[in-house]
Each structure stands twice: as C-alpha cells, then as structure tokens.
C-alpha cells in the first residue's frame, strides 16, 4: 500500500488513514493509495464498514498545490471519488481541522460524515479562479440544498461544522477528542440501523420554478459581487446543471468547466498571487531566521495610525501601550479605540466578550520611562525627520538595549532616523496601511544595519498579526508608495491631457480597481500626498508632476474633508458629483504648461496606468529594494485594491508581454 495511505482492521471495521503532512493534500500517492485501500477493504469479507480518517492536525485540506500547472496524474480525483461512492460497504468520513476543496469533495463522496466541533468545511476553488472539479457542484446541492451550495461555492467561504450539520453536510458532531473511537462507534451504529447507504448521486433535484427563481436571484447577486471574475459564474453554471442534467452528465460538464477555468488567464493570475503571498512571507536566503518572541509592545502616537496599530496587537492578545505627549491626547486616543471596538460589536464583527478582552490588552502612558521593559516600540508620529529623531533619541535612552525600535514612516529615510540611536541594528520600518487594524498589507523595511534577528522577528510578527508581510529596502516611499506615486503621477498627467476625474476613475474601476485614483485622493485627503511630496529629497524636475493635485491643495480643496476636491461633495449626504469648475481649472493650468489636449480611450487610460506601476516596479527591482517581482504584486493586491484575479501589476504586464 502507499506510504501516504494505510489500512488496519478494528474487528469488522476497516480504518483507512491518510498521512500526508502537513495538510494531507490529495497528491497522486494519496489518490492511488485510497483506491488500493478501499479495494482491499471490499475484498476482505470480514470487513463490514470503512472509516476514512486523517492523521495530524487536519482532514484533507485540498489538492496538492505542487501539482498545479503540471500534467494530471492518474488516478484522477473524480475516479477516486466514484470508487468511494460506489463502494458496497458504508464509508464514514471522520473530519477534524478542515475539509476544503477536494477534501470536502472526498467527504461528500463518502456515505456518511462525522465531524469534531470546531472543524470547518468549504469549497474555496473560486479563490483560485476555478470551480470544484471532482463533483462538488453536483454533490453539495444534492446534500445541502441549492441555496446553501450556491452560497458556499460562489463565495468559497469556510463553514463551521455546526453550520454544516444544519445544512446536512455533516451527519453528526462530536466534542470528544478521540475521533477514531467515535467514528468506529458511529460505523457500528449505522450497521445495526441502516440496510442501504445514502449516495448523493441518487438524490434528485427538481428543475422547478422555485429553483429557477433561486438561480436567477443568485446570478444577479454573484454578477454584482464578482465584478469581472469568471469562476463564480462558471460555478453557478455548473450548479445549474445539477438540477437540469443527470448526475453523470453534470459531472462531465463540471469537468469541462473546471478545465476551461484552469486554462484561463484569471486562474493563472489567482494561482500566481496564491504562491506569491506564500513566497513573500519567506526570508531571503541571506537573512538568518533567528526571531525573538514579542510579548509586549508600545506605540508612540495615538493618532489614527497609532490607534489602528495598537488594535492590531490587542486583537492578537499581545499587550500594547499607547504613548502620547499629554493626558488629554492619551484619553482621546483610548476613547477612540473604545468607540471603534463598540462599533464592531454593534455591526456583529465582534462579541462583547471579545471587545472586553481586547481592551484589557491596551494601556496608556505619557512617560517614555514606562517603556523600560517592552520588547518592541513602534513610532507612529508626525512625518517629520526632526520629530522622529527626537523620539528615537528618547527611546534609545529609556528602552532596553535589545528592544526593537520600529518606525511606521511612509516615506522618510529610515537610515537617517536610525542615526539617532547608538545601535541601529535594532531599527526597522514597520509600514502599516490605513486603517491599520483592517488593511492586510505590512511592509517591513530594512536598512543595511538592521540585524537578521530584527528582520526575522518582524517578518514572524507580521504573520502573527494576520498581515501579508513583505520585506523591502529603504528609499523614499519604499516599494509600495513609490509604485503608487508612479500610478498617481500617470493619472495626474492624463488629467492635464484632458481626461476628466470621472473618466479616469471609471476607467480604472471598470478595469477592476476597488476605487479610482482621484476618488482615493479625495477620500484620504489631497494634502497628505502634497505634504509627502515636499519631503522628497530628490523631486522630479517636471512642472507637470502632480500639478492638478498640487493646484487643488494650494487652493484648500482637500477632498471630502473640505467638501471639495476632484469632486464636489454634498454636505448632507456626502455624495460625490462631477465638478466642472475643477475640470476647467485643470484644463487652464494644462494650457499654461503647454500640455497638448487629446481624447484617450478607456483602454489607453488603463494600459498607461498599469504600465506606469510595472515600470516603476522594474526600477525598484533593479535597485535591489525588493526580493521578487511577485512581492510587488502582493503589495498591490493587498494594499491598493488591485484586482486579485489579474495577479498584480507585475504579473499582468509580464503576461501581456509574452
């Protein structure tokens, strides 16, 4: 038998165990081992039932990602699952941890499913631009009902075992730890109770007006939510086949749709970013992995960023102290954190117990002497080098000599900031993105002096905080904001050429961006970028550089907070409307600068914007500020609303250049 799959007997029950660490993925060895073990159990006359269980921390968590993009190896998963479902002896899937993708499809092909409390199931294939390809779109609607299947498959969400029980996906739950014992008892119970075993392929779904109405409603919902993604709609098409075709025909069509999705640019892009995010979390070979544990932290500055960063730590049960210059500002910061958590409770994102628990992890002080024993201090003060020098000199005096000192600066030279301390090896950038407690991206910025221990500690901490953490080098704007400046600069140039803010924003939203670039500027405040550009030690010698944005900032039109920016905002509703006076103002400035006016197609706008990002990314790579081009894709997908299904600007540009 395969080493990844083994079989042993407990009286009349055969126990088939999968042992393919770390997540028992459905590799070729597992698939072939399953077929051989089931055949052996069927051939043994003393065996009356089969328990399928997995060793380690989880049930089958999905396909073997190392096989992605390679020619498929036999036996194919649909054939393996047909063997399970067609087995003349009942098979019970014993689920713990997660049963995802092919793992849940395997469980659905079994006759019964038993799960431990707290385990989760799901079909997340749409997140890779795919659909379930081994019967998931045919078996789940038959077992859980049409609406539940549409919800799970088109969203890819994971469902807790307790909810899965209500759906009928799971037959029985258990809170006991000995899953094998429970599964064997369950097997013996059904042998005394049942004469035949339920097979999902034999369940009929009616092609009724009610079900057609459900499909119609869900197609409208999914089309709106998917915003350009193909796989959720392909999944809907396959689920529809479950009510209109026979099981065998539905399986055949599902496989065809799966293979079409697999070959699509969207799936290739989504698989690229899937692997890119895992690669970004790994240290370069040149950096030794010698992290220390961060048990206590402090944040210097209780403004918007400081509060959000503090919540990041409290959310992960790490004690954090907010430091402000006076008691009034400290009280304002702590009160604002309390209000944010209260809103999360009201919206259902947090329980009252969770709110109370997190608040116990947050304290405050106005005295740097209180930092004597913290492991990590993150400075989140005003973007001014003199201010930061003053803070870091104080930290050097009051903190332990081995405490890590981080700055959340978005643009400033971290090497210059580190010059204020005696030991710059413990200085690093931790560039969070606003709102820090929500945004997934974290740039860890190293300088030449930063030690391997400091770097590896911050990369490990980023993962602990639930962030997509990317290691980059020091330089004005680092990687993320430097590329975003290139994106913004190209948009501002096209405004001078005659594109209106609404045309620019709509083009990029149609392309897949979460928001258009001028709408983002209005939301964040046009003065933020204006002031940041003033900090650039080497500004471009170009009178057109961000001229429209500078023009508005100099007139006090700062966006939503002033009621006027690239758009005009209704004071009561906050709704944006086109501002023709601003369009005329930009056009007048363009004529003064001698910028030729022209009509640009939506496609040209989109291509110029993305090309600007990718070109800057190539420059960043040539300067050694990033380890991999895929790291830059991770930054854009997780930090700037770049459509995940396009894989990131570097992947997209490389794919169209091939």
Active site residues per annotation = 105, 125
Question: In what helix (H) or strand (E) does residue 92 lie, and over which residues does it extend?
Answer: strand 91-95
Report which DSSP code applies to 559: B
Contact criterion met (CB below 8 Å) for 484 and 633: no
- Cα–Cα nearest to 527, from 486, 572, 564: 564
| Pairwise CA distance, residues 495 & 488, whole Å | 11
* Bridge partners, residue 379, by sequence: 300, 407
Supply the angle between the helices 580-593 and 547-554 in degrees, to the nearest 10: 120
DSSP 118: T
H-only helix segments in 227-376: 231-244, 247-262, 265-280, 304-315, 327-346, 352-360
Q: Are 476 and 537 in contact (CB under 8 A)?
A: yes
- Strands 576-578, 567-569: pairing is antiparallel
One DSSP character per residue, 170-223 reads -SEEE--S-HHHHHHHHHHHHHHH-SS---GGG------HHHHHHHHHHHHHHH
Dihedral sign, Cα of residue 556, residue 562, residue 566, residue 567: negative
Q: How far is CA 234 from CA 121, 129, 256, in A?
A: 21, 10, 10
SS3 348: coil
What is the edge-to-edge ordering of all strands in the sheet holding 441-446?
362-365, 320-323, 297-300, 376-379, 404-407, 427-432, 441-446, 468-473
Residue among 428, 422, 419 at smallest CA distance from 461: 428
3-state class (DSSP) for residue 498: coil
Within 13 Å and on the Cβ side, how many CA atoms surround 333?
29
Phi, psi for residue 47 in degrees, rounded to 5: -85, 130
Pairing of strands 120-122, 98-100: parallel
Residue pair 137/131 in contact (Cβ under 8 Å)? The answer is yes
The CA distance from 42 to 21, in Å, is 27
The DSSP-derived string for 260-284 is: HHHTSHHHHHHHHHHHHHHHHTSPP
d(CA 141, CA 145): 5
- How far from 243 is each of 97, 139, 236, CA to CA, in Å? 31, 11, 11
Token pair of 177 as six digits:
């730890």
């Amino acid at each position: 038998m395969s080493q990844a799959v083994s079989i042993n007997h407990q009286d009349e029950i055969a126990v088939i165990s999968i042992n393919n660490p770390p997540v028992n993925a459905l590799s070729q060895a597992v698939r072939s081992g399953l077929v051989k073990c089931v055949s052996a159990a069927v051939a043994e006359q003393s065996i009356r039932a089969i328990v399928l269980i997995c060793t380690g921390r989880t049930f089958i968590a999905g396909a073997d990602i190392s096989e992605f993009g390679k020619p498929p190896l036999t036996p194919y998963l649909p054939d393996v699952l047909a063997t399970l479902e067609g087995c003349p002896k009942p098979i019970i899937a014993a689920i713990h941890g997660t049963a995802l993708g092919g793992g849940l499809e395997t469980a659905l092909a079994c006759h019964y499913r038993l799960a431990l409390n707290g385990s989760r199931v799901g079909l997340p294939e749409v997140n890779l631009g795919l659909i379930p390809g081994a019967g998931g779109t045919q078996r789940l609607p038959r077992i859980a009902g049409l609406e539940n299947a549409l919800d799970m498959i088109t969203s890819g969400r994971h469902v807790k075992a307790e909810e899965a029980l209500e759906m009928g996906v799971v037959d029985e739950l258990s809170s006991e730890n000995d899953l094998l014992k429970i599964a064997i008892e369950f097997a013996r119970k059904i042998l005394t109770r049942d004469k035949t075993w339920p097979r999902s392929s034999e369940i009929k779904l009616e092609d009724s007006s009610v079900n057609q109405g459900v499909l119609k409603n869900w197609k409208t919902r999914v089309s709106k939510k998917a915003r350009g993604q193909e796989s959720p709609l392909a999944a809907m098409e396959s689920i529809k086949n479950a009510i209109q075709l026979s099981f065998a025909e539905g399986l055949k069509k599902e496989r065809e749709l799966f293979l079409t999705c697999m070959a699509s640019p969207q799936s290739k892009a989504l698989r690229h970013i899937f692997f890119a995010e895992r690669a970004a979390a790994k240290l370069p070979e040149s950096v030794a992995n010698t992290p220390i544990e961060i048990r206590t932290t402090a944040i210097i500055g209780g403004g918007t960023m400081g509060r959000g960063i503090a919540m990041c730590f409290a959310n992960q049960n790490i004690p954090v102290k907010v430091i402000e210059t006076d008691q009034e500002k400290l009280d304002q910061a702590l009160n604002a954190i309390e209000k944010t958590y209260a809103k999360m409770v009201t919206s259902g994102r947090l329980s009252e117990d969770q709110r109370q628990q997190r608040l116990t992890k947050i304290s405050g002080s106005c005295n740097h002497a209180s930092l004597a024993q913290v492991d990590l201090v993150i400075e989140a003060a005003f973007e001014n080098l003199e201010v930061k020098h003053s803070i870091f000199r104080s930290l050097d005096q009051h903190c332990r000599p081995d405490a890590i000192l981080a700055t959340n600066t978005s643009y400033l030279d971290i090497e210059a900031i580190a010059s204020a301390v005696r030991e710059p090896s413990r200085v690093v950038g931790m560039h969070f993105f606003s709102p820090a407690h929500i945004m997934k991206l974290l740039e860890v910025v190293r300088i030449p002096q930063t030690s391997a221990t400091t770097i590896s500690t911050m990369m490990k901490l980023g993962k602990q905080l639930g962030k997509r953490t990317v290691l980059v080098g020091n330089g004005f704007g680092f990687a993320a904001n430097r590329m975003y400046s290139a994106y913004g600069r190209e948009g501002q140039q096209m405004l001078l050429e005659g594109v209106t803010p609404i045309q620019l924003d709509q083009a990029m939203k149609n392309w897949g961006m979460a928001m258009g670039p001028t709408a983002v500027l209005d939301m964040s405040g046009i003065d933020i970028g204006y002031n940041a550009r003033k900090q650039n030690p080497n500004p471009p010698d170009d009178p057109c550089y961000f001229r429209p944005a500078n023009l508005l900032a100099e007139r006090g039109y700062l966006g939503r907070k002033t009621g006027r920016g690239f758009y005009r905002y209704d004071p009561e509703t906050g709704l944006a409307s086109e501002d023709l006076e601003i369009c005329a103002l930009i056009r007048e400035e363009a004529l003064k600068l001698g910028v030729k006016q022209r009509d640009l197609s939506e496609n040209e706008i989109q291509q110029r914007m993305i090309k600007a990002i990718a070109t800057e990314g190539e420059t960043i790579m040539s300067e050694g500020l990033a380890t991999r081009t895929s790291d830059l894709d991770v930054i854009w997908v997780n930090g700037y609303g770049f459509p995940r299904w396009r894989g990131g600007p570097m992947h997209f540009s490389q794919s169209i250049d091939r």
